[in-house]
Amino acid sequence: MPAEGGKTDMERIGLFSEMGYITIGDKYVSQFNRPFNEPASKNKQMLPGGSKEMSNLQAGYFDPHFVRIFEGEGYVSLNQVRRRHMMEETKKNLGKAFLPSNGNKKLCGLGSYYGTIGGPVPFFSVQSKPREKYEAPGKNLYTNPGKKGTGYGYANVTIGKQFSHSADFYDAAKLNYKKENEKHQKLLKGAPFKLNLYPRAYFDTNPYLSEKTLPPIKKVEKKDILANPFKPSSPGKKAGGMKAGTFEPYPSHSADPYVGKLTSQTSSKDVKIFHPPGGPKSRPIESIMTLNVKRSLNMKNYKTASLQSY
């Protein structure tokens, strides 16, 4: 429809022609009622003859008859090949085959040497060796019967003599230790040696503990308190431009004319130019993380070490 300005809608949009409508006149088919594969139900389809199962019958193979790998090859018997090989090996023999003169002799019984080459061995003979005549030992030693008593609390019961009685003091060990200690103290010279490098903890439990003896207590001197406050004899003098308030008289003025040094007096050889020393220079500092990586990763284990651990 033309608008108020006299232009149609297509002219206002800026298109060359109106877009076509594809679905005009087509029947609406719902998306749920559409077939899954339309061409599968049209025209002729490929119908295979079914799957073949593997069996001894020829129907289980693709070819109509059994096909051999080699056509017209000769049949070879393995027994025939073995016999030919044995005949070739017998041709290599120089003489006839070795045959023993007689058959093996059978043993007559257990322990017999019949059929052996060497015969009986004298070391395995059953005969007993000659021995010396047995002489019976003499009679046992006859002693007097044992003394009666258990031994504890009975005198003259043991084999040896009776032990003599010896006195034993009750505090013998204590007295002996006391005598040895007195001898040791006499041999000592001076006080015991003390080393200042004895290992101790960083901080003592009692910071005020000291091994030195304390000095005598000092008496606090009491200051005499004056009853009347101090007053100066006269008030301070005020500065009136003539230095009347100072303790000493004003120093006299001395004229000192300023005279500059000539260039001839100063020479570059005698006087050196002052150069201030350089300040502290910074150094490259590695971080703690870089140092830990260098310690754990070195030239020996850099191939086997995993990157995930760093």
pLDDT at 252 over 80: no
Angular region, 180: left φ>0, alpha ψ -120 to 50, beta rest: alpha
Q: 122-147 pLDDT, tens per residue?
A: 887 778 888 899 888 888 887 877 76
pLDDT-based confidence at residue 239 (cuts at 50, 70, 90): low
Identify the residue with better confidence: 180 or 194.
180
Is residue 79 pLDDT above 70, yes or no? yes
Q: Is the pLDDT of residue 188 over 70?
A: yes
- Kindly tell me the burial class for residue 297, based on how many C-beta atoms sit within 10 Å of its own C-beta (0-12, 13-18, 19 or more): middle
Residue predicted with more confidence, 100 or 203: 100
- Per-residue pLDDT averaged across 49-72, rounded? 74
Residues 6+ apart with CB under 8 A from 239: 245
Mean pLDDT of the chain: 76
pLDDT tens digits for range 255-295: 777 776 666 655 556 667 788 887 777 777 888 888 888 77
Q: What CA–CA distance (Å, rounded) separates 248 from 237? A: 12
How much is the pLDDT for 310? 46
Q: Which positions ≥6 away from 107 have C-beta within 8 Å?
A: 114, 115
Amino acid at 168: D
Q: Spell out the alpha helix ranges (H) of 91-243.
A: 172-187
pTM beyond 0.75: the answer is no
How far is it, in rounded angstroms, from Cα 297 to Cα 304? Answer: 10
Size of the chain, expressed as the number of residues it contains: 310
Sign for the CA dihedral angle at 63, 67, 69, 70 comes to negative
pLDDT at 182 over 90: yes
pLDDT (0 to 100) of residue 85: 96
Distance, CA of 262 to CA of 272 (rounded, Å): 17
pLDDT, residue 183, reads 94
What is the percent of the chain where pLDDT is above 90?
8
Task: Measure the CA dihedral 191/195/199/200, to 10°.
Answer: 60
Residue pLDDT, tens place only, 1-43: 555 567 777 677 766 666 666 666 777 777 777 777 777 778 8
Cα three-residue angle 126-128-129, rounded to 5 degrees: 130
Q: How far is CA 282 from CA 11, 192, 277, 285, 286, in A?
A: 78, 54, 15, 9, 13
Burial class of 69 by CB neighbour count within 10 A (0 to 12, 13 to 18, 19+): exposed
What are the pLDDT digits (tens) for 138-173? 888 878 777 676 666 677 777 777 778 888 888 999
